[in-house]
Structure 1
Amino acid sequence: MDTIMTEPVIAIISLGDMGTQISRVLIENKFRVITAGEGRSEKTLENIHNTGVENTGSLKDTVEKAEVIISLTSPERSLRLAENTAMCLKDSENRPLYIDLNSNTSAVALSIEKLLTQIHIPFLNGAVMGTSKDIPYTAELVISGVNRNKFFDLFGNLFKIKDAGEKTEAASAYKLLFSLVNKGVNALFFETMTAAAHFGILDELNKSLEDFLPGTYQDLLKTTPTYPQHIFRRIDEMKGLSEMLKNENLPNVIASGTAETFDKVYHSSIFENEKPQGVLETFQIFKKLKYT
Structure 2
Amino acid sequence: MGSEQVVPLTLGVLYPGEMGSVLGGLLRKQGFRTITTLAGRSKRTRKLCRHAQLEVVHSLQQLVDSADIVLSTVHPDSAPKVAEEYCACRSGKARQQCFVDLNSIAPATVAHIESMLADADVDFVDGAVHGMAAQLTTFGTIYLSGASAPAVAVVLERAARTRVLGDRAGAASAFKMLISGVNKGVTALLVEVCLAAREVDLLEPFFASCGEAYPGLMSILERTLPSYPQHAPRRVQELREAAQMVADVGLRPRMIESARQVIGEISAAGLPSDNVRSAIQILAELHAREVLKQSQLPDSITCQRSVE
* TM-score normalized with structure 1 length: 0.86
**Is the Cα–Cα contact under 8 Å of residues 276 and 282 in structure 1 kept in the other structure?**
no
**Is the Cα–Cα contact under 8 Å of residues 99 and 123 in structure 1 kept in the other structure?**
yes
**Is the Cα–Cα contact under 8 Å of residues 10 and 32 in structure 1 kept in the other structure?**
yes
Query: In the alignment, which residue of structure 2 is the partner of 1:123?
Result: 124
Give CA-to-partner distance per residue, 1:173-214, whole Å, 9 cap, x none: 2112112222111111222244455xx40x225523532542
Query: In the alignment, which residue of structure 2 is the partner of 1:210?
Result: 208
1:98 and 2:96 are equivalent in the alignment? no
Residue pairs, 1:224-239, within 5 angstroms: 224-239=225-240
Query: In the alignment, which residue of structure 2 is the partner of 1:244?
Result: 245
The residue identity in structure 2 corresponding to 1:228 is P
Q: Distance in 2 between matches of 1:134 and 1:196?
A: 30
**How has the CA–CA distance of structure 1 residues 61 and 141 changed in structure 2, closer, same or farther, with 3 Å as cutoff?**
same
Aligned-residue offset at 1:57: 0.7
**How has the CA–CA distance of structure 1 residues 280 and 256 changed in structure 2, closer, same or farther, with 3 Å as cutoff?**
same
Q: Distance in 2 between matches of 1:13 and 1:125?
A: 15
Aligned-residue offset at 1:160: 0.9
Partner of 2:267, secondary structure, is: helix
Residue pairs, 1:1-292, within 5 angstroms: 7-41=8-42, 44-45=45-46, 48=49, 51-196=52-197, 200-201=199-200, 203-214=201-212, 215=215, 216-267=217-268, 269=269, 271-273=270-272, 277-285=277-285, 286-289=287-290, 290-292=293-295
Gaps of 5+ in 2: 1-5, 296-308
**How has the CA–CA distance of structure 1 residues 152 and 69 changed in structure 2, closer, same or farther, with 3 Å as cutoff?**
same
Q: Distance in 1 between matches of 2:210 and 2:155?
A: 47
Partner of 1:222, secondary structure, is: helix
Cα RMSD (Å) of the superposition? 2.5
Partner of 1:136, secondary structure, is: helix
* TM-score normalized with structure 2 length: 0.82
Gaps of 5+ in 1: none
Partner of 1:127, secondary structure, is: strand
**How has the CA–CA distance of structure 1 residues 51 and 283 changed in structure 2, closer, same or farther, with 3 Å as cutoff?**
closer
More off after superposition, 120-129 vs 14-23:
14-23
Partner of 2:206, secondary structure, is: helix
Tell me the percent identity.
Answer: 25
**Is the Cα–Cα contact under 8 Å of residues 27 and 33 in structure 1 kept in the other structure?**
yes
The residue identity in structure 2 corresponding to 1:291 is Q
**Is the Cα–Cα contact under 8 Å of residues 18 and 48 in structure 2 kept in the other structure?**
no
